[in-house]
Amino acid sequence: MATFDDATTVHGGDGRYTADIDPMWTIGGNPHGGYLLAMLARAAIAEATAPGDAPAHPHPLAVSAAFLTVATPGPATVAVEVLRRGKLATHARAQLRQGDKPHVEAIFTLGRLELDAAADWVDTPPAEVAPFEECHRSAIEPYGSGIRIAMLGMVDQRLDLGSLGSRDPNADDPFDGGSGEVRGWLRFEDDTPFDPISLLYAADSFPSATFTLGDVGWVPTVTLSTYVRAIPAPGPLRLRQRVRILATSLADQVCDVWDSTGQIVAQAVQLDAVRR
């Protein structure tokens, strides 16, 4: 079984990199968006690093991405342009392509996170989540969905079912009783520790919290912005995915990620298309 690092490896230089999109990091055969961003981050970091040097800015601090079309497993190219190099951060643009079709366009802010650097102030404590062992492990083929989520064979995703609410499908209000959020835990199946690059996957890994509000189908991501704020301590991550606004065919959702010590390590905001 390939590690996450192996599955996001890129090769090349001078603004052009090759990659192989792993079929194990897919949902219904479609490559996962956070997984693709981790691949693009590796290319951006490589391009920002002079040959033979150690990376001055080895960590993705922020990324803003647009998902243009759906990629497919297999060979891909990543074009990278460094926009600015500074003492604090490097800015780079990366685009994932297959053939002549662009799939993902992203702007990265690269920098350096210090190990064991605690936040000076945080506006909210870690979300309350049932213990890891008491949470429900997500299935690769969820009952009744008809979809194979291959990436759930690579991670151990645990959902706190008590966080989902108790929606009554017969209520006059179709959203009555739904919590609009999902809380739980995440770890790699092989216990690989998370790092700043794999946090780009983690912050996009949980199921859309819109499913707690009613019967919705595929919820593709239109745009995704992620902040990586700290190097996580070893152990499973604690996540909370919540809907802030659901209106017509669009939803905006927020994901907060804490490490095993309770430190917030990543945050993500995304705009999704909701297919009712």
> What CATH number is associated with residue 229?
2.40.160.210
Same domain, 191 and 242: yes
Average pLDDT in the 158-180 region? 77
Which domain range does residue 17 map to? 1-112
User: Is residue 219 very low, low, confident or very high in pLDDT (cuts 50, 70, 90)?
Assistant: confident
Q: Which of 50, 84, 112 is the last residue of a domain?
A: 112
Q: Which residue's entry shows tokens 């690989």? A: 192
Q: What is the pLDDT of residue 243?
A: 94
- pLDDT computed for residue 176 by the predictor: 64
pLDDT in tens, 128-148: 999 999 999 999 998 877 889
Within a domain: 241: yes
Q: How far is the C-alpha of 168 from the C-alpha of 234, rounded, in Å?
A: 39
Residue ending a domain, among 86, 112, 138, is 112
Full-prediction pTM beyond 0.85?
yes
234 and 169: one domain? Answer: yes
Residue 1 has pLDDT above 70, yes or no: no
Q: How far apart are CA 101 and CA 54, in angstroms?
A: 33
In this structure, the answer to whether residues 248 and 157 fall within a common structural domain is yes
Query: How confident is the model over 76-129, as pLDDT tens digits?
Result: 999 999 999 999 999 999 999 999 999 999 999 999 999 888 889 999 899 999
Same-domain status, 83 and 145: no
Residue 269 lies in a domain: yes
